[in-house]
């Protein structure tokens, strides 16, 4: 019985001023194309999994519609989330990682944002029980990350070394230190917006996981933390579907090997979305037989890799044995048919 899936990588180049409705429509067209590929290849694809294909889009696909990169309000993020769940229902056998949503939320939760995702249903239907004042949680997260950095960094991790104490430069944007952000949050007279950069993993109209970017590459676009502060987010999700475990990184997180440091085993799929980061073979975390799939705004970095049984990795991005649908300068969408690695037996949760 065939045990293959389709993987579609979209190398869209971001346009910050593009209306969100236009971005959603463009993404829907790309998803429809990958879904068409799945139909055309049905005889080759697995019949045993709830997904027959994967679609990845780059980082910052959804931002505020301004002339420069800037976060959307939290309310707009909820609206985008609902639209993406609708697309997931429309393409139920396509595992979606639709880029990231760059948004900002207030320190005090606004009325109307009192629901969270229920892990059982994968829908935003569960009442939140945490205090509407997010200040204490933001301080706790920042403090916890300061404490975790020594265990995460290596001898060459300059950015992680300076992040807690002095900050660093990220492509021309100054990243404030975590100590400075914590100090700002402790001052009750200051009420910065909290910047978040999140990627969703969706399947069959349900949210499997939400990944928040951990390491700061100018997320607050050089603004003072009294106005906009980036708080490292959740990262421990490695959802499992039908015996296949999946991990995720957002741009600079891959450059810092945040998933590889966790040493999650087995890991069948390592997904990266970026704007942009190099595909680093030393930071690839998939197990033997597993895949590394990267969708970047830089077409040359969008790539697909497989780990061999001996632990080495091979770049199959342009291998005609897998590269079935080639992009054009206008589509920037590449499609692959790849054999599935061996699943976990019995399936486990990460």
Q: What angle do CA 69, 261, 175 make, to 5 degrees?
A: 30
Cis peptide before 346 (omega within 30 of 0): yes
Q: What digits encode the pLDDT tens for the residues 34-86?
A: 999 999 999 999 999 999 999 999 999 999 999 999 999 999 999 999 999 99
Percent of the chain with pLDDT over 70: 94
The DSSP code sequence of 277-337 is ----GGG--PPTT-EEEEEESSTTT-EEEEE-TTS-EEE-TT-TTTEEE---TTT-EEEEE
The per-residue pLDDT for 129 is 73
pLDDT band, very low/low/confident/very high, at 122 (cuts 50, 70, 90): confident
Average pLDDT for residues 306-326, to the nearest whole number? Answer: 97
Average pLDDT for residues 225-244, to the nearest whole number? Answer: 88
Q: 248: which strand partners?
A: 271
The per-residue pLDDT for 218 is 93
Q: Which residue has the tokens 């993406």?
A: 84
pLDDT band, very low/low/confident/very high, at 244 (cuts 50, 70, 90): very high
Q: Name the DSSP letter for residue 65.
A: S
pLDDT at position 299 over 70: yes
The per-residue pLDDT for 350 is 45
Q: Count of CB atoms within 10 A of residue 171's CB?
A: 9
Residues 322, 271: Cα–Cα separation, whole Å = 18
| Higher-pLDDT residue of 157, 333 | 333
Domains of the chain listed by start with CATH number: 4-104+196-339 (3.60.110.10)
pLDDT band, very low/low/confident/very high, at 207 (cuts 50, 70, 90): very high
Average pLDDT for residues 280-303, to the nearest whole number? Answer: 97
The per-residue pLDDT for 165 is 84
Q: How many Cα atoms sit within 13 Å of 339 on the Cβ side?
A: 9
With residue 147 as reference, give the H or E element that holds it.
helix 135-152
142 in the Ramachandran plot: left (φ > 0), alpha (ψ -120 to 50) or beta?
alpha
Sign of CA dihedral 316, 317, 318, 320: positive
Average pLDDT for residues 270-288, to the nearest whole number? Answer: 97
Q: Name the DSSP letter for residue 44.
A: G
Average pLDDT for residues 181-201, to the nearest whole number? Answer: 95
Arithmetic mean of pLDDT over the chain: 91
Long-range contact set of residues 329-332: C-beta below 8 Å, sequence gap at least 24 = 331/33, 332/10, 332/11, 332/12, 332/13, 332/299
Average pLDDT for residues 199-228, to the nearest whole number? Answer: 94
Question: Phi and psi (nearest 5°) for 213?
Answer: -60, 140
SS3 of residue 21 by DSSP: helix
Q: What digits encode the pLDDT tens for the residues 132-173?
A: 788 999 999 898 888 776 556 665 666 677 888 889 888 888
With residue 142 as reference, give the H or E element that holds it.
helix 135-152
């Amino acid at each position: 019985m065939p045990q293959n899936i389709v993987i579609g990588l979209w190398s869209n180049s971001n346009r910050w001023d593009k209306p969100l409705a236009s971005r959603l429509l463009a993404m829907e067209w790309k998803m429809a194309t990958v879904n068409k590929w799945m139909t055309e290849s049905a005889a080759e694809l697995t019949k045993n999994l709830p997904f027959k294909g994967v679609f990845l889009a780059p980082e910052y696909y959804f931002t505020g519609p301004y002339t420069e990169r800037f976060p959307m309000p939290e309310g707009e993020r909820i609206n985008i989330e609902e639209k993406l769940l609708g697309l997931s229902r429309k393409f139920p056998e396509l595992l979606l990682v639709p880029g990231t949503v760059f948004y900002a939320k207030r320190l005090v939760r606004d009325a109307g944002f009192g629901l969270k995702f229920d892990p059982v249903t994968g829908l935003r239907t569960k009442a939140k029980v945490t205090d509407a004042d997010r200040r204490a949680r933001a301080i706790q997260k920042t403090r916890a990350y300061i404490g975790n950095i020594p265990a995460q960094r290596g001898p060459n991790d300059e950015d992680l070394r300076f992040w807690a104490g002095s900050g660093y430069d990220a492509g021309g944007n100054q990243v404030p230190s975590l100590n400075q952000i914590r100090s700002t949050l402790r001052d009750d007279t200051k009420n910065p917006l909290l910047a978040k950069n999140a990627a969703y993993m969706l399947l069959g109209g349900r949210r499997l996981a939400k990944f928040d970017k951990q390491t700061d590459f100018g997320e607050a676009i050089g603004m003072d933390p009294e106005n906009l502060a980036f708080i490292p987010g959740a990262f421990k999700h490695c959802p499992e579907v039908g015996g296949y475990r999946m991990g995720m990184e957002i741009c600079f997180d891959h450059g810092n090997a945040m998933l590889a440091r966790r040493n999650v085993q087995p890991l069948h799929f390592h997904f990266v979305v970026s704007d942009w980061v190099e595909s680093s073979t030393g930071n690839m975390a998939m197990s033997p037989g597993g895949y590394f799939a990267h969708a970047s705004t830089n077409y040359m970095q969008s790539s697909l890799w497989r780990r061999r049984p001996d632990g080495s990795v091979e770049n199959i991005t342009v291998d005609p044995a897998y590269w079935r649908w080639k992009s054009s300068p206008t589509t920037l969408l590449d499609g692959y048919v790849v054999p599935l690695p061996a699943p976990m037996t019995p399936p486990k949760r990460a």
